[in-house]
Structure 1
Amino acid sequence: MKVSTLRMALLIMISIGGVNGCGGSGSSNTNDKSVSPTTPLAPETSQGITWEPGVFEGASNFAGRCATPRSGVDPFTGASYPDVEGSAFEEKMWMRSWTNNTYLWYDEVDDNNPADFTVASYFAQLKTNGVTPSGSAKDNFHFSQSTDEYNTLAQTGVTASYGFSWEFISSVPPRQLLVRYTEPNSPAALAGVPRGASLLRVNNVDFVNNNTQEGVDALNQALFPSQSGETAVFEFALIDGSTLNVTLTSQDIVVSPVQNVTVIDGAAGKTGYFQFNTFIRTAQSELIASFNTFIDENITELVIDLRYNGGGLLALASQLSYMVAGPNQTNNMAFETLQFNDKHPEVDPITGVEIQPTPFYQYEIDYAAGLLTNTLLPSVSLTKLYVITTGTTCSASEAVINALRGINLEVVQIGTPTCGKPYGFYPTDNCGTTYFSIQFQGVNEKGFGDYADGFIPSSSPSFEYEVPGCIVPDDFSHALGDVNEGMLFAALAHASTGACPATTLAGNAFERAAGQHKDGLSIKRPDALKSSIFLQNKILVPINAPK
């Protein structure tokens, strides 16, 4: 496959760490208090523009017409902001027309009067109310974020944080919040907070049982800092029964997407392992270094730990897949082909480019310039890959699984079902807010992309979305990368024997307390946080061949 018109491919996913990140009730948006019309609203200046049900003007007629226009130069692009004086009504009319043109399920969106909603609540209901075969929300990935915050995180991997990655077992009393891992050299890591630590109190507020609004507000404010320099006191219960008290000050944390790179000697030979947390552009060099290590060590098996990887750059997912499979298995094969709504069967509605398959990228990419370079990537050229997954394994991570299975590379799945997101979008800025609205579905070389309820490990697969492997619950009693950690242990055992360890075969171990409905005030969940951009969503940008 030639790469002269290489396009797309940045798949950023959102999954900061919530359990059941792909779940949802499928209830109507108009019954959701967060998106219900606010009546009456203050009169808006619409400059003669009116809403007519079923009639949609081009989105360009409203683009950049803002109630509060920005001025000056965008620090990330160097270009002047396109905003001009407008109104909130025009902002809503833009998102209405943009949705009708590009949203994958545009014909399932209720055409409600924009005047009955705030800007935020109007966008929130511009999505389908449909459900998947399992009854989960069909579109559980619809969100917006401040453009400045999105650009900072997407382009630099920097976010204000204490350095925790949280596992939400229950967000309502009795709450349970565990530490998945800490970012290297972060305040949490330097304080020695270990994986599996369970939060008891924050700033002397009872995290587990407090059910007052004042308490919940205090917990939210302390747990999720909006900027660096915020200080909070945490009390944890540790695995051994002891408690740990630490005082932490938030910092601008640089996300380390690749961690715990190691080569394990065992019965199956040399097995490479690494924890991969997010597909951001800074991961490219770390992945290259990791695979060069694996080549030098002459590994025969590879385990990629994607259990907390919500996604990211689709181009990087393609590169990773190439580094696993190598040139012979990927030559002239499609990594993924995008399918847009029925208004756009042949041309990408965002770029205006003819829809063509995204190849397995075998070269390094200059992500700042969106250019494919002439530097060949390393590859281990394996015919089998072990992936460790949970319900927060989304989007780009799932695209890797789907793409490699599409070229008949053997994928063995260890863990619990993935989140189920074969969809993606182009983040689109208007008036200082970046909107994320599902615009396409990706399919592999075989044309398969129907895994809306996730990839499911199975000892006897019967459906395409079932992947050979072992159901294993997440093990918080061991550090990630420890050969005794439950999921990695199962992967190594399977690589050695070809079968799942007997202890992993017990019923639905992945159905945990998080799936139970409880009463009480809930703290913020990861999918509600602006900093959770990298968890469950594909994001595309053009990638061009070198000139």
Structure 2
Amino acid sequence: MRQKNNLYLAIGLAMTTAFLAGCGGSSGGSSNNNPVVTPDPQTTPPTWQAGQFRPSSEFANLCATPRSGIDPFENTPYPDAAGTATHEKMWLRSFSNETYLWYDEIIDNDPSQFSTVAAYFEQLKTPLTTASGRDKDEFHFSESYEDFKKESQDGVSASFGINWTIPQTRMAYVAYVTANSPAAQAGVERGDRLLKVGDLDFTTFNNQDTAQFNQIISAFSPAKDQTVVLTLLGQNGEEKQLSLTALDLELEPVRKTQVFEFEGKQVGYMQFNQFIASAQPELISGFNQFSSLDELVLDMRYNGGGLVFQASQVAYMIAGDQHNNRNFSVKTHNDKQSAQNEPLGFVDQSINWNTLTYNDDKLPAANMKRVYMLTTSGTASASESVINALRGIDIEVILIGDNTRGKPYGFVPQQNCGTVYYTIQNKSANNKGFGDYEDGFVITPSEQLVGEIGLDARIPGCKISDDFSKALGDQTEGLLAGALHHISTGNCPVTVARASRSAVTQDVVEQNMSNNFSLPYHPFRQGAIYTPMKEPSND
């Protein structure tokens, strides 16, 4: 059955979206494609009164620094008019009160007490924590409209071409390198470990010092044309110092697809890194190769999330028509937005991301009864929604690697005055009503699992450390080898732990626990699931 439902933000944790993208508008943008209505200029700041909220529409597009001219992404005039920073804060306040999932947990602080709009937005979220002690909302985020459009719609991001993973305190490894990038040309390889950024030691820098923190962050999220000197420890134990300049690079959401024979079985493997619009052609091409598989291994160990409707497409391409018209997910909003609590089916059509319309086709499908997922704590949001959705229709999912991050939440990115804001607006559950995996999906020995699958956060599989010594897709690489061992025997490898290469002693790690480093949340890279504000249609 062709998908006619609206696409929406399902869950979340990697990283952006008008989709996704990776964490709204046209093909992943934040515009709703309605005629642009520019408000009348207002230069007198509005007055805040605790507990009293005017409609956000009264403050929308009233900007301290309004843009002028034509939006190059939408080819329409910018909607901005002259306003004040207080107008922007009051818009954020009202918008959060209207749409934030936990709006009644936000402390209504006086906007004038915050020096910038960004500082005010930062605290417009719940202060509560999960059962494990994590912040209930780790995913509050904003970015420039231009950066959002480039990454979510065009699949481009300023980068050296290094994709990092941080599996331990103060340990940052190169997960993979983008082809033909500055990093690739400089000889950066998977498994290289970060030692220094400029003259700062990554293991000992002061995380509380803003200047030092920003210098370290430049290794992970550089601006275009920014040059940074990195010192890395190579696989051979030798240090290499490299001067890299960031460029706008095309992302590699689908990096490797292959079908190989293993013990008389046809096994498909795909490394899938981001749910973004530009991933669609290669996803379709890859699943066209998976028409006659015995087993499927989907490598999402570094996939932080993205477009919910693309997550639904991927789930369909795994399961095919076994969904039997059951739901991919059902989202729940706050009590003010309950009219939006609607199910999303399994999307079986491709999407024209430029017009946000469904194409007249049907996606390929592997029709798997079982799928192996390679996961780590970097697996989040839209990736987790695929896992949850498949379990909701009784497709067997086996996890190889580590527990996922935990983000059953989503949002519709909203643009105002040149900034795109991500504020959690819904929580999603699978067809069986389960969506409580705020602390991630937990790999659990099969003998400990009791009850109907798809109704809790425990999933069968094997805990295996990420193996940086081998290329991704190599059949001897730790996680993929673990999946193949399980395919062969039905059991986990006897020895599953692989020691991380480290020149850092345990006492140094422990000393820095209180000064831990984690990347600032970014929807595209660390987990997002979202819906465009204009939803795909069959027009």
Quickly name the TM-score band, shorter chain normalised.
Answer: 0.7 to 0.9
1:358 corresponds to which of 344, 367, 379: 344
Amino acid in structure 1 at the alignment position of 2:467: D
* 2:119 corresponds to 1:126: no
Identical amino acids, percent of aligned pairs:
42
Asked if the contact 2:411–2:422 (Cα under 8 Å) also holds between the matched residues in 1, the reply is yes
* 2:178 corresponds to 1:183: yes
Asked if the contact 1:66–1:87 (Cα under 8 Å) also holds between the matched residues in 2, the reply is yes
Asked if the contact 1:268–1:301 (Cα under 8 Å) also holds between the matched residues in 2, the reply is no
How far off is 1:202 after superposition? Answer: 4.1
How far apart, CA to CA, are the structure 1 residues paired with 2:219 and 2:496?
A: 37
Alignment correspondent of 2:71: 74
How far off is 1:424 after superposition? Answer: 0.5
Asked if the contact 1:268–1:496 (Cα under 8 Å) also holds between the matched residues in 2, the reply is no
Matches within 5 A, 1:277-292: 277-292=273-288
How far apart, CA to CA, are the structure 2 residues paired with 1:289 and 1:482?
A: 21
Q: SS of the counterpart of 1:271? A: strand
How far apart, CA to CA, are the structure 1 residues paired with 2:45 and 2:201?
A: 53
How far off is 1:47 after superposition? Answer: 2.5
Asked if the contact 1:11–1:279 (Cα under 8 Å) also holds between the matched residues in 2, the reply is no
How far apart, CA to CA, are the structure 1 residues paired with 2:389 and 2:509?
A: 30
Alignment correspondent of 1:317: 311
Asked if the contact 1:12–1:280 (Cα under 8 Å) also holds between the matched residues in 2, the reply is no
How far apart, CA to CA, are the structure 1 residues paired with 2:282 and 2:98?
A: 38
How far apart, CA to CA, are the structure 2 residues paired with 1:12 and 1:127?
A: 16
Q: SS of the counterpart of 2:287? A: helix
How far apart, CA to CA, are the structure 1 residues paired with 2:498 and 2:232?
A: 30
Matches within 5 A, 1:493-508: 493-504=485-496
How far apart, CA to CA, are the structure 1 residues paired with 2:159 and 2:497?
A: 37
Asked if the contact 1:10–1:316 (Cα under 8 Å) also holds between the matched residues in 2, the reply is no
Q: TM-score, normalised by structure 2?
A: 0.86
* 2:330 corresponds to 1:306: no
Shifted more, 535-544 versus 480-489: the winner is 535-544
Alignment correspondent of 2:112: 115
Amino acid in structure 2 at the alignment position of 1:58: P
Amino acid in structure 2 at the alignment position of 1:479: A
How far off is 1:13 after superposition? Answer: 4.7
Alignment correspondent of 1:30: none
CA change 1:98–1:495 in 2 (3 A) is same
Q: SS of the counterpart of 1:502? A: coil
Amino acid in structure 2 at the alignment position of 1:539: Y
Asked if the contact 2:9–2:426 (Cα under 8 Å) also holds between the matched residues in 1, the reply is no
Amino acid in structure 2 at the alignment position of 1:536: G
Q: SS of the counterpart of 2:290? A: helix
1:403 corresponds to which of 389, 392, 397: 389
Q: SS of the counterpart of 2:77? A: coil
> Would you say how many aligned residue pairs link Structure 1 and Structure 2?
498
Q: Deviations over 1:472-525 (max 9, x none)?
A: 111112211111111111111111111111113899xxxx989967278777x4
How far apart, CA to CA, are the structure 2 residues paired with 1:255 and 1:284?
A: 13
Matches within 5 A, 1:438-477: 438-459=424-445, 460-462=448-450, 464-477=456-469
How far apart, CA to CA, are the structure 2 residues paired with 1:406 and 1:136?
A: 26
Asked if the contact 1:46–1:89 (Cα under 8 Å) also holds between the matched residues in 2, the reply is no
How far apart, CA to CA, are the structure 1 residues paired with 2:53 and 2:516?
A: 39
How far off is 1:273 after superposition? Answer: 0.7
2:480 corresponds to which of 488, 501, 514: 488
Amino acid in structure 1 at the alignment position of 2:187: G
2:263 corresponds to which of 259, 264, 267: 267
Amino acid in structure 1 at the alignment position of 2:263: A
CA RMSD of aligned residues (A): 2.7
How far off is 1:216 after superposition? Answer: 5.6
How far off is 1:14 after superposition? Answer: 2.7
Q: Comparing both chains, which one has the higher relative contact order based on Cα–Cα distances under 8 Å and sequence gaps of 6 or more?
A: 2
Asked if the contact 1:12–1:535 (Cα under 8 Å) also holds between the matched residues in 2, the reply is no
CA change 1:91–1:213 in 2 (3 A) is closer
Amino acid in structure 2 at the alignment position of 1:544: P
Q: SS of the counterpart of 1:96? A: helix
How far apart, CA to CA, are the structure 2 residues paired with 1:519 and 1:470?
A: 27
CA change 1:165–1:444 in 2 (3 A) is same
How far apart, CA to CA, are the structure 2 residues paired with 1:67 and 1:265?
A: 61
Matches within 5 A, 1:56-67: 56-67=53-64
Q: SS of the counterpart of 2:90? A: helix
* 2:325 corresponds to 1:332: yes
Amino acid in structure 2 at the alignment position of 1:476: F
How far apart, CA to CA, are the structure 1 residues paired with 2:381 and 2:513?
A: 31
Shifted more, 397-406 versus 485-494: the winner is 485-494
How far off is 1:6 after superposition? Answer: 2.9
Q: TM-score, normalised by structure 1?
A: 0.85
How far off is 1:392 after superposition? Answer: 1.1
How far apart, CA to CA, are the structure 1 residues paired with 2:403 and 2:492?
A: 16
Q: Deviations over 1:36-70 (max 9, x none)?
A: xxxxxxxxx97262211111111101111111111
How far apart, CA to CA, are the structure 2 residues paired with 1:205 and 1:518?
A: 15
2:149 corresponds to which of 148, 151, 154: 151
Q: SS of the counterpart of 2:520? A: helix
How far apart, CA to CA, are the structure 2 residues paired with 1:468 and 1:121?
A: 42
Matches within 5 A, 1:369-448: 369-448=355-434
Alignment correspondent of 1:343: 336
CA change 1:245–1:318 in 2 (3 A) is same
Q: SS of the counterpart of 1:263? A: strand
How far off is 1:258 after superposition? Answer: 0.7
Q: Deviations over 1:388-421 (max 9, x none)?
A: 1111111100000000000000000111111110
Asked if the contact 1:12–1:533 (Cα under 8 Å) also holds between the matched residues in 2, the reply is no
CA change 1:486–1:215 in 2 (3 A) is same
* 2:223 corresponds to 1:226: yes
CA change 1:376–1:517 in 2 (3 A) is farther
* 2:197 corresponds to 1:199: no
Q: SS of the counterpart of 2:252? A: coil
Q: SS of the counterpart of 1:312? A: strand
1:244 corresponds to which of 235, 240, 243: 240
How far apart, CA to CA, are the structure 2 residues paired with 1:198 and 1:540?
A: 35
Amino acid in structure 2 at the alignment position of 1:236: L
CA change 1:515–1:363 in 2 (3 A) is farther
CA change 1:89–1:226 in 2 (3 A) is same
